[in-house]
Amino acid sequence: MSGGHMYQSQAAQAKVFDYHYDPEFSDDHIVCDWDMLRMQLLHQWDRLSATDIDYAGPNRRKLAQLVARKYGISFPCIENYLRNFERTLPL
C-alpha cells in the first residue's frame, strides 16, 4: 500500500464525525435551565405572557415563532438570538 492510499484510508475514517446541519431535522429542544430562560423571556419580551411561553415550552422553534409573531421580527433572527442566549445560561 503506498503512502497516498494509507492517507486516504485515515481521512475516510476521520469522516465518521462528519455533521451536516439540516434545519428541517434539527433538535429544537432548548438546552439550558428552562426556568431561568422562561423568567428572562418574561422580563425581556413584555408582550409575551407566561401562558404563551408555557404553551411553547422549551422548544426553540415554537418560541422563535411566538416572538416573531408578537414583535414582527424575522424568525431566523429570533432563533439565532435564542441559540446565543441559551449558551449564556447554565444547563
pLDDT at 18 over 90: no
pTM here? 0.68
Q: What is the pLDDT of residue 61?
A: 95
Which grid cell is 71? 414583535
Long-range contacts of 59-63 (CB under 8 A, 24+ apart): 59/28, 59/29, 59/30, 60/28, 60/29, 60/30, 60/86, 61/28, 62/28, 63/30
Range of lowest pLDDT (2-6, 48-52, 58-62): 2-6
Instruction: Give the gyration radius of the chain's Cα atoms.
Output: 20
